[in-house]
């Protein structure tokens, strides 16, 4: 029996993080529901044990059903028949199995049929599903939409839509349009209110919509005629039962072929307003995007894990010049660096999830009672750090995912280029992770703010204070040196007061912060479990050289050099 | 009375992945070296029971097993998948029972439960006898339908069942109460359900409660569904002569290790002639066709 949770002790390691007690207590609101639902947790140990056991179910379904289906799903893909998206056979089986196991709507409250799981175990499930089939992970992961409805929709909408998730309803978030990709402020799909029918109607086109023919769709639309920016946009929920949507086509993609990417035409489609008018983009979609970015972080780590395992197995089995290729320095270095990058991005993934967990729980508690001043500060702190870590995670995890998938293919040599091994699929699937839900370039735009306002530096200095065993002190010393350098350089770039220069160096600065942060996280992991020592050493050594090259570039660069890089097209 | 289904299940050593420690020197199974699992065909049986429950409102599934105290694990496992409650037949006096003694004990338990339908896996992967199901039916004097692949139609007093036989399928109609044994070609069991797992993970037998370090008193009082009943020889009102070694006519006379040696080999080249030869070989030896 393949079990993707049991065969990967890293997940349990992160599940047992010391902060979990606080996270669970907040999420369970001091176990207020313990006598209300027969499956509610009694206390912290009970909750952690349930997380662990439910993740075992996820791991088993991933190993026994989803992963074995991945190849046929990749070949078959979804089809468009009579204006209906028909999933590949394996996709449907995956979805049905997860529904039967009660694994849709994992983070929703029990009152709506959910499991009320914290983000950490939910993100772990997302990592597992992604390792099994990254394309399918999108369909499963769109249960995030339930979370958005739960956070912002009226009670009436919540009662109508949320209980459907645990029974297997699928979801989509319809944001992108032909002329509104990265720039969602340009969305044009029109929403008009019919006074007579007391109903909103949607008209227009959406493009590149994952799982576009879903049961429940969140649609971003313009409610304020004459406006041209984000403040004229509102969020709607559309029910597939109304049959007012045409799927014009399913895109033919490089990877994640099991996930149907649709072009949609809304024609007088009835829909319900979610929350308040004009808050669609600036509040609700921003929140949805943040959880989607966490989701892509999980997906990236999942694909990377799958690719690494394929490469490791192949390197061990493949013999050349009389011995397995894993014995050659050129190959084992590739593998151990892959391992270190996975450990680093996974640590960043769960660190981010922990911060998100805490601030989200506070925001729900706030609906019931006033927070104590102490709690308010704690909530604010966790929101700020979560906002800073989310784009950093998305950036690093997705870039590493691409590097690792590429290296894994390289380990296979010519064989890896053939369709005979799963690594070519992983390589194709990886490629989307640093594009969708905001490209890497856009993650940098979000992350550079945390360089500017000192959020990264503050967090790093906090990490610096964590206790480490004396034998790992040398690793911390390296990180302190890197931090000093990062502080100096970011200050010099910021003080130049030249926005173009800041944008130009933004990625370099953000990446320096990322290396230091992940270095500290691995150091903390090593402190808890010496198994991580190798990865910490390899990663911090890498951090040192990577930071040095970026520092050297910034130091030797002057504002006037910008011109050299500017390019035009005649 | 609601429609009552008893599913017979057995905890078995996982003989599908045997290592070198799988057998003891005396030729018996080394249970300690193999993980204990839910007998695979019994899971198919459970799925059939769940499908009946899906179709009959208020139907109840009781999982019944016989074994050492740790066999309660598979009762919980069945509850995570949708069984409502479970009974464990356990007593030292049952030790060493063969299929005849086992089916005697099980038939007594089934008699106590008075179900409309008994569903069992065709056979267990440790003994592979396929005898217990039919023997239980005989002892209860109810009809049996073996090798079931699918329950096609069902109402409270009649079932229409598809059987998977060696050279085809057979559809039969049978009145309740009856016992069916389920073939491995039947659908695999649905997964464990997250909510049911969280609900039933604390289900315990009396013997297990004695071993627990944590205090379960309050939980067991507030949540009576967590109690898994244990039945001993006394509870079943069984005649001990028919149990254990004394009740088991099956005696192992001799156990031999069989080493399969390759007798001869044929080298084939991938051309039409040799492929033609290979196909004929495979058809003649009934590997295909």
**Does B191 sit within 8 Å of A60, measured CB to CB?**
yes
Burial B84-96 (b: 16+ CB within 10 A, else e): bbbbbbbbebbee
Q: Is the pLDDT of residue A72 over 80?
A: yes
Which residue of B193, B223, B225 is in closest CB contact with A102?
Answer: B193
Helix (H, G, I), strand (E, B) or coil at A121: helix
Q: What is the pLDDT of residues A425-442, one digit of tens each?
A: 999 999 999 999 999 999
Looking at chain B, how many residues does it have? 289
B51 touches A: beta carbon within 8 Å:
no
Q: What is the pLDDT of residues B199-244, one digit of tens each?
A: 999 999 999 999 988 888 888 999 999 999 999 999 999 998 998 8
The single residue of A437, A471, A473, A537 carrying the catalytic annotation is A437
Residue B278 lies in a domain: no
Which residues neighbour A40 within 8 Å (Cβ) at sequence distance 6 or greater? A28, A31, A33, A34, A110, A116, B198
CATH superfamily of A171-280: Butyryl-CoA Dehydrogenase, subunit A, domain 2 (2.40.110.10)
To the nearest whole Å, the CA of A54 is away from the closest chain B CA by: 6
CA dihedral A164, A167, A173, A178 (to 10 degrees): -110
Q: How far apart are CA A124 and CA B170, in angstroms?
A: 46
Low-confidence residues of chain B: pLDDT under 70: 1, 26-28, 289
The CATH architecture that domain A448-559 belongs to is Up-down Bundle (1.20)
Burial B100-132 (b: 16+ CB within 10 A, else e): bbbbbbbbbbbeeeebbbbbbbbbbbbbeebbb
Q: Which domain holds residue B103?
A: 4-242
Element (H, E) at B231: strand B227-231
Residue B260 lies in a domain: no
Q: Which chain A residue lies closest to B199 (C-alpha atoms)? A: A39
- Is the bond into B200 cis (omega within 30 degrees of 0)? no
Q: How many Cα atoms are found within 13 Å in the side-chain-facing hemisphere of B263?
A: 0
Inter-chain contacts counted by CB atoms under 8 A, chains A and B: 47
B192 touches A: beta carbon within 8 Å:
yes
Q: How far apart are CA A169 and CA A264, in angstroms?
A: 19
How many domains does one find in chain B?
A: 1
- Cα A433 from chain centre: 9
| Model confidence, pTM | 0.93
pLDDT at residue B286, as a whole number: 80
Q: Is the pLDDT of residue A230 over 80?
A: yes
- Cα B56 from chain centre: 23
Burial A79-90 (b: 16+ CB within 10 A, else e): eeeeeebebbeb
Measured between alpha carbons, how far apart are the two ends of chain A, in Å?
60
> Is A437 marked active-site?
yes
The CATH number linked to B208 is 3.40.50.620
Q: How far apart are CA B34 and CA B26, in angstroms?
A: 17
B194 touches A: beta carbon within 8 Å:
yes
Beta bridge partners of A266: A204, A245
Residue B273 lies in a domain: no
pLDDT at residue B257, as a whole number: 75
Q: How far apart are CA A144 and CA A123, in angstroms?
A: 11
pLDDT at residue A333, as a whole number: 98
For strands A199-210 and A216-222, give the pairing: unpaired
Nearest CA to A476 out of A460, A459, A454, A455 is that of: A460
Whether the Cβ atoms of residue A171 and residue A146 lie closer than 8 Å to each other:
yes
B164: left (phi over 0), alpha (psi -120 to 50) or beta: beta
Q: Residue B23 carries which DSSP code?
A: B
Phi, psi of B203 (to 5 degrees): -60, 135
Concatenate the DSSP letters of all residues of A390-435 into one string. Answer: HHHHHHHHHHHHHHHHHHHHHHHTHHHHSTTSTHHHHHHHHTTTTT
**Every domain of chain A and the residues it spans:** 171-280, 448-559
Q: What is the pLDDT of residues A240-298, one digit of tens each?
A: 999 999 999 999 999 999 999 999 999 999 999 999 999 999 999 998 888 999 999 99
């Amino acid at each position: 029996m393949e079990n993707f949770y049991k065969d990967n002790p890293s997940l349990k390691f992160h599940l047992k993080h010391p902060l979990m007690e606080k996270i669970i207590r907040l999420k369970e609101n001091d176990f207020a529901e313990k006598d209300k639902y027969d499956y509610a947790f009694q206390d912290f140990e009970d909750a952690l044990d349930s997380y662990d056991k439910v993740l075992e179910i996820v791991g088993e379904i991933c190993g026994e059903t989803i992963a074995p289906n991945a190849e046929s799903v990749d070949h078959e893909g979804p089809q468009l028949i009579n204006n209906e998206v028909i999933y590949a056979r394996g996709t449907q089986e995956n979805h049905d199995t997860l529904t039967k196991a009660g694994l849709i709507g994992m983070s929703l409250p029990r009152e709506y049929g959910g499991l009320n799981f914290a983000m950490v175990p939910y993100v772990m499930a997302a990592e597992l599903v992604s390792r099994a089939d990254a394309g399918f992970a999108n369909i499963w992961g769109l249960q995030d939409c339930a979370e958005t409805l739960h956070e912002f929709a009226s009670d009436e909408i919540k009662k109508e839509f949320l209980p459907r998730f645990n029974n297997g309803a699928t979801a989509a978030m319809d944001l992108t349009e032909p002329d509104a990709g990265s720039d969602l402020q340009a969305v044009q799909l029109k929403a008009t209110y019919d006074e007579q029918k007391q109903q909103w109607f949607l008209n227009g086109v959406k493009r590149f919509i994952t799982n576009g023919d879903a049961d429940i769709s969140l649609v971003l639309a313009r409610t304020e005629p004459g406006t041209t920016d984000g403040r004229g946009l509102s969020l709607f929920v559309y029910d597939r039962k109304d049959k007012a949507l045409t799927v014009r086509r399913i895109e033919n993609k490089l990877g994640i072929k099991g996930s149907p990417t649709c072009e949609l035409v809304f024609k007088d489609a009835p829909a319900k307003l979610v929350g308040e008018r004009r808050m669609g983009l600036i509040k609700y979609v921003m929140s949805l995007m943040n959880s989607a970015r966490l989701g892509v972080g999980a997906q990236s780590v999942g694909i990377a894990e799958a690719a690494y395992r394929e490469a490791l197995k192949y390197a061990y089995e493949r013999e050349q010049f009389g011995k397995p290729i894993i014995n050659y320095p050129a190959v084992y270095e590739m593998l151990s660096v892959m391992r270190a990058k996975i450990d680093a991005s996974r640590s960043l993934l769960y660190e981010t999830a922990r911060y998100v967990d805490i601030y989200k729980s506070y925001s729900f508690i706030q609906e019931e009672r006033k927070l104590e001043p102490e709690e308010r500060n704690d909530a604010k702190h966790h929101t700020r750090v979560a906002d800073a870590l989310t784009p950093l995670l998305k950036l690093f995890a997705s870039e590493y995912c691409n590097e690792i998938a590429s290296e894994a293919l390289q380990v296979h040599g010519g064989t890896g280029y053939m369709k005979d091994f799963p690594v070519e699929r992983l390589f194709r699937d990886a490629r989307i992770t640093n594009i969708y839900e905001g490209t890497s370039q856009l993650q940098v735009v979000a992350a550079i703010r945390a360089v500017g306002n000192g959020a990264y530096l503050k967090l790093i200095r906090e990490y610096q204070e964590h206790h480490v065993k004396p034998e790992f002190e040398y690793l911390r010393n390296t990180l302190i040196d890197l931090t000093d350098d990062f502080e100096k350089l970011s200050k010099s770039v910021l003080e130049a007061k030249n926005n173009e220069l800041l944008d130009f160096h933004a990625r370099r600065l953000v990446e320096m912060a990322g290396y230091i942060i992940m270095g500290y996280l691995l150091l903390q992991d090593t402190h808890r479990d010496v198994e991580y020592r190798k990865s910490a050493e390899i990663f911090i050594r890498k951090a040192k050289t990577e930071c040095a090259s970026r520092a050297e570039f910034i130091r030797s660069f002057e504002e006037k050099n910008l011109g050299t890089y500017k390019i035009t097209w005649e | 009375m609601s429609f009552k289904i008893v599913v017979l299940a057995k905890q078995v050593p996982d003989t599908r992945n045997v290592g070198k420690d799988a057998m003891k020197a005396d030729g018996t199974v080394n249970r300690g070296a193999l993980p204990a699992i839910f007998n695979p065909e019994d899971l198919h049986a459970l799925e059939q029971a769940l499908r009946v429950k899906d179709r009959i409102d208020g139907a109840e599934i009781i999982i019944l097993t016989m074994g050492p105290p740790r066999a309660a694990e598979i009762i919980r496992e069945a509850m995570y998948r949708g069984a409502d409650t479970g009974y464990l037949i356990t007593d030292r006096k049952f030790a060493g029972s063969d299929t005849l003694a086992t089916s005697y004990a099980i038939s007594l338990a089934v008699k106590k439960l008075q179900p409309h339908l008994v569903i069992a896996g065709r056979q267990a992967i440790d003994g592979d006898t396929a005898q217990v199901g039919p023997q239980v039916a005989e002892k209860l004097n109810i009809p049996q339908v073996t090798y079931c692949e699918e329950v096609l139609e069902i109402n409270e007093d009649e079932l229409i069942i598809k059987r998977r036989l060696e050279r085809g399928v057979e559809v039969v109609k049978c009145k309740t109460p009856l016992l069916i044994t389920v073939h491995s070609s039947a659908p695999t069991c649905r997964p464990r359900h997250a909510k049911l797992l969280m609900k039933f993970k604390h289900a315990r037998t009396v013997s297990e409660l004695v071993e627990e370090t944590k205090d379960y008193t309050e939980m067991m009082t507030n949540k009576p569904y967590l109690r898994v009943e244990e039945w001993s020889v006394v509870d079943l009102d069984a005649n001990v002569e028919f149990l254990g070694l004394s009740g088991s006519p099956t005696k192992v006379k001799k156990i031999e290790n069989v080493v399969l040696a390759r007798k001869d080999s044929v080298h084939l080249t991938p051309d039409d002639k040799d492929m033609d030869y290979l196909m004929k070989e495979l058809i003649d030896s009934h590997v295909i066709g």
